[in-house]
Structure 1
């Protein structure tokens, strides 16, 4: 039986494995997915997870629930040696070991790109995984609770100051949703007012949302500023030590919540630990049919897709263009990969990947959004409804669609669920404090008895 090894269980990897389960004959091949997480994160829902509009579990698609005949390994691939058809796997616990394959699929995905900015790794949090989205929401809600018990001043101001770095889709959507959540929470905190909130969006370029046109992007900036946000364009983060934000334009302020969404970087295993061909950005060189290599120098039995692959964009009028790293492409590339691998095994026709954009749509908070398809631009509530409609259709499985719809309908009737569960990040604290208090009481009782 052939061994098909898929490195990474994100969009492209999940849809490749899901498709292969449907197309492979019984006993024809064994599909293995290696990923440290037991689920695929539906990243377009992460901004709504930060706002509590989508439950965290509903943005996570269980691999075991949907990949019934695929072998799943909880671990990370740390090295790919295609010359030996071997990868090194680092499991969640235990020693590293090797796996051999006949067919390799590289869908490791990208990682968050960071820079050597003082204090960044100590203070900031990303927005690429469910855990991060939940932590951002809980930190904001905890900050509200703490600020409400403080008098006006520097400490209270810092707690209610939120900073997002990066004006791409992830940053703008997360920023807009969190601003919407904070504004909605004010009616439950009579001690606080809209003037106490300070939201900052920092972007190094002269515009945000590069996927939309200049005018729609400028409209988004004006929309956020009308809601009280501060948008800093052509501005870089200089330092963030101890939560003190220093910007390249000379502005400084303290912020208790700093979210870094300033782009992606190639996965280290692809960039540094493989003998597969990579380009100057550290992405796997891929042909239009998603096979690794070039037309003149293909790599047999190796395929790649998603954020760590330089996939030619055949639908683009720009010569040499590559597909942008987004969910729209990764999902469709995964489906095409499954069809092409099955075709290669069955002697069928292998087709090139081609997908024309369906447009871009972004949420900017509850009831607010923007959509653009070529010259068609839709703003406000209609765009927000289009955003929700598209993503509830795109999230895998009817089970997930129904769960998400149920949460949305419940929120429409009863409002947001404004409960912080920040304590779950340190579940043993209450247990340890209880034990310490009990020992302290016993010690004092013993001292009085002895006296």
Structure 2
């Protein structure tokens, strides 16, 4: 961390908003006009729409993440967490990965902490659940699913086999539907290489408390997506929820009970709970209350955007939708970040702020290889696509949206190679404990037990 006499723009979070806002600020400001500091627990940004494909092995996990230090050159990147903010002194407390926490002064503040998985106090969920918010979880899910196929193929215990081949996904939004679609596709391909495992032996279950899946693409495409997944053998239970999953014994509210080693939780997100410690005005669901200019309500030096902010949706409100807020998706986050970056520079120079307004352009979702749904909004017209054409739209949109040309080229290269090469079905489960084998080889041998003789025996030998 460097010290400087220049004003400091502190960006809390290196996700979608943090990355693009920092790049925009660096691009717009004059040389040495300010110091931009980005603080995040990870040194990379994760492009979350690609996590289902990373879990299925369609994209290399390394190509789903963008290294912050390479992309925001000219900014300080600190790997740690902002634990508190003193607005009166304009000081943030940073807890680094190692060492003592320290104070970091700032002049302008950007809150871009994103969201975390929304969970409920369900017995067993913390111990058994697998999330899908980070690339580590996507890698872990892929290895875990393939490891279950390995177990099922090699065991003679029917209960163990049934539990290994049952996969439960909770949440039918984009994350849940896309993940179960991709993982089912991968498991179907992988089963071809196992002697004792067939697709018919597997059981995929999708659970959602709502009465539909994929609400983002509308009811018609949502129904098609449900029918499509059911046609592939996925059991879908709507208007129900999970009561418990202790030791993998899943109990649903509709009475269904199954045993499963794989419970994937994608039932929505919530703002980062750390926001409650920053003294910022929060909305009813914990989001930072932001104005259309993306300035935090009641301040002129703090901005917020993305999943951790409630931003008025001016385009929807102009169309007559009262109390509309921008939904937490990448489409809005990208555009908000650019307006936010411009407004930070304008605020630093004393210029007026610009309001954020963006009309929804639609939504796309992939449900496995060559399968998807897409709703494209062009003015008042909505174009609805399904199947292979929608899948092309999904890949085309996200291929262009992933940050940096470096990652665009690498992702497209992965897709191109997959057209000619078969999907990898290797489980690298040992990645969870990479030092275990070396530890077993290197640990010292146990000392032989000392032979303690009775004193009488010693005297007898001496005599």
Identify the TM-score tier after normalising by the shorter chain. over 0.9
Aligned to 2:217: 212
The answer to which of 337-346 and 362-371 deviates more is: 337-346
**In structure 2, distance between residues paired with 1:359 and 1:415:** 32
Aligned to 2:136: 131
**In structure 2, distance between residues paired with 1:84 and 1:263:** 36
Aligned to 1:288: 292
Matching of residue 369 in structure 1 with residue 376 in structure 2: no
Selected match of 1:74 from 46, 64, 79: 79
**In structure 1, distance between residues paired with 2:52 and 2:179:** 4
Post-superposition offset of 1:265: 1.4
Matching of residue 275 in structure 1 with residue 282 in structure 2: no
Aligned to 2:125: 120
Q: Paired residues, what number?
A: 437
Structure exhibiting the larger radius of gyration computed from Cα positions: 2
Superimposed CA distance per residue, residues 277-306 of structure 1 (whole angstroms, 9 cap, x where no aligned partner): 11111111111011111xxxx302111111
The answer to which of 258-267 and 122-131 deviates more is: 258-267
1:127–1:170 CA contact under 8 A, matched in 2: yes
1:83–1:275 CA contact under 8 A, matched in 2: no
Superimposed CA distance per residue, residues 327-363 of structure 1 (whole angstroms, 9 cap, x where no aligned partner): 1111111111111112223344421111111110000
Superimposed CA distance per residue, residues 42-91 of structure 1 (whole angstroms, 9 cap, x where no aligned partner): 00000000000011110100001111110011111111222221222111
Aligned to 1:301: 301
Post-superposition offset of 1:373: 2.6
Counterparts of 1:185-264 in structure 2, within 5 Å, are: 185-264=190-269
Matching of residue 315 in structure 1 with residue 339 in structure 2: no
Aligned to 2:445: 439
Superimposed CA distance per residue, residues 183-238 of structure 1 (whole angstroms, 9 cap, x where no aligned partner): 11111113111221101111001111121221211111110011011111011100
Aligned to 2:392: 385
Aligned to 2:340: 337
Superimposed CA distance per residue, residues 397-448 of structure 1 (whole angstroms, 9 cap, x where no aligned partner): 1111111111111111012122111111101111012235x837x979xxxx
**In structure 1, distance between residues paired with 2:420 and 2:117:** 37
**In structure 2, distance between residues paired with 1:407 and 1:118:** 40
| Secondary structure of 2:301's aligned partner | strand
Post-superposition offset of 1:275: 1.6
Aligned to 2:331: 328
Aligned to 2:421: 414
| Secondary structure of 1:439's aligned partner | coil
Aligned to 1:359: 362
**In structure 2, distance between residues paired with 1:253 and 1:347:** 61
Post-superposition offset of 1:99: 1.3
The answer to which of 95-104 and 53-62 deviates more is: 95-104
Superimposed CA distance per residue, residues 84-142 of structure 1 (whole angstroms, 9 cap, x where no aligned partner): 21222111111222211100111111111111100000000100000000000000111
2:301–2:347 CA contact under 8 A, matched in 1: no
| Secondary structure of 1:420's aligned partner | coil
**In structure 1, distance between residues paired with 2:387 and 2:85:** 47
Selected match of 1:143 from 130, 138, 148: 148
Coordinate RMSD, CA, aligned: 1.5
Post-superposition offset of 1:165: 0.6
- Where structure 1 has 5 or more consecutive residues not aligned to the other structure, the ranges are 445-451
Superimposed CA distance per residue, residues 152-179 of structure 1 (whole angstroms, 9 cap, x where no aligned partner): 6111011111111111111111111001
Matching of residue 176 in structure 1 with residue 203 in structure 2: no
Post-superposition offset of 1:144: 0.9
The answer to which of 233-242 and 86-95 deviates more is: 86-95
Post-superposition offset of 1:145: 1.1
**In structure 1, distance between residues paired with 2:156 and 2:362:** 47
- Where structure 2 has 5 or more consecutive residues not aligned to the other structure, the ranges are 1-5, 450-463
2:144–2:429 CA contact under 8 A, matched in 1: yes
TM-score, normalised to structure 2, is: 0.92
Matching of residue 395 in structure 1 with residue 399 in structure 2: no
